[in-house]
Structure 1
Amino acid sequence: MPVRPVPAVLASAGAALLLLAAAPSADAAPPAPADTKEMVTVDKTARIAADGTVKISGTYRCRNNVGPVFVSSNVGQGASSSDTLGSVTVRYAIGGTHAVCDGAKHRWENTGKPAPRTLKAGKAKVEVTLMELRPWGGLPLMPHFHAQSQQDITLAKG
């Protein structure tokens, strides 16, 4: 199934609206802030295969989860007319990996295939999020962000 590009601004706005619409009542306790020892990193080089499949990897550490936790990633490149919407760079979702939150450092790897010929070998920017889906305030699943990282990387052939 092809992945369609979503401008980061639109994706963020949609997520914010969803969170506002699903906000619990004022008497519900807010989620605890992320643990400062929790982290997610991105390797400096990602791979892009001849068929356009992108493989991004790195490490993460988290602990104290009650719901499922995932490492999600997206990637964007340059500011050419073919990959921007106005002045917003289009970002492509690259897979998602289930994370184990036991306090130990683990490797993660996400793979995805954006629309044909949208990404090329060269400089790129990756955003990675370590997010848990927790039961909270009567909602079945509320996002809890353990860690996030944005980094410039190199997409290398292979």
Structure 2
Amino acid sequence: MPVRPVLAATLGGAALLCALAAPAAAAPGESVTVDSTARLAADGTVTLSGTYRCLPGTGPVFVSSSVSQADPRVRHGIGGSAARCDGVEHRWANSGKVSAETLTAGAAHVQANVMELRPSGLVPLPVFHATRDRDIKLVRS
């Protein structure tokens, strides 16, 4: 078998996998924001919030969020909520519980994503409408 077709197929497959794995930039009119302050309850419940705007898709859409502190490689998933993609700005708020010793009041980093699970054969594929990273302040509530 000639080398060129095999090489082209291999590189094309690798490019497709990279495109599927990497979040794309938000389309015009789509965004997600993260509020500058988040709440940390005594029992470890964290509440993150912000706004989002997304355009209609073909699958269910969610706003997911995570928070990190001290070690940026360790992120704690903080809930997820259904999103309504109609081109209008909406508020989102996610809450999740981590152990009381894991997070403390003070500086933290949040990542929020608006992600659609788009039908594609047997398994839906994630499509990112918008992603935002922001440094915030965790305050005791």
TM-score tier, shorter chain, comes to: 0.7 to 0.9
Q: CA RMSD in A?
A: 1.9
C-alpha contact (below 8 Å) 1:77/1:89 kept by paired residues = no
Q: Match for residue 67 of structure 2?
A: 75
TM-score by length of 1: 0.71
Counterpart Cα distance in 2 of 1:37 and 1:120: 35
Counterpart Cα distance in 1 of 2:89 and 2:34: 13
Q: Match for residue 7 of structure 1?
A: none
C-alpha contact (below 8 Å) 1:40/1:60 kept by paired residues = yes
Residue type matched to 2:117 in 1? Answer: L
Report the CA distance between 1:33 and its aligned residue. 7.0
| 1:1-80 equivalence runs, <5 A | 20=17, 34-79=26-71
Q: Match for residue 92 of structure 1?
A: 76
Tell me which of 94, 115, 126 is aligned to 1:110.
Answer: 94
Q: Could you say if the C-alpha distance between residues 124 and 51 of structure 1 is closer, same or farther in structure 2, counting changes exceeding 3 Å?
A: same
Q: Match for residue 134 of structure 2?
A: 151
TM-score by length of 2: 0.80
Q: Which string of whole-angstrom CA distances, capped at 9 and with x for unpartnered residues, describes residues 22-57 of structure 1?
A: x7xxxxxxxx97422100000000000011100000
C-alpha contact (below 8 Å) 2:26/2:131 kept by paired residues = no
Report the CA distance between 1:140 and its aligned residue. 3.2
SS of equivalent residue, structure 1 residue 140 = coil
- 5+ long unaligned stretches in structure 1: 1-18, 24-31, 80-87
SS of equivalent residue, structure 1 residue 124 = strand
Counterpart Cα distance in 2 of 1:89 and 1:140: 28
Structure number with greater Rg is 2
Percent of aligned pairs with the same amino acid: 56
Aligned positions, number: 121
SS of equivalent residue, structure 2 residue 111 = strand
Q: Match for residue 8 of structure 1?
A: none
SS of equivalent residue, structure 1 residue 89 = coil
Counterpart Cα distance in 2 of 1:37 and 1:116: 38
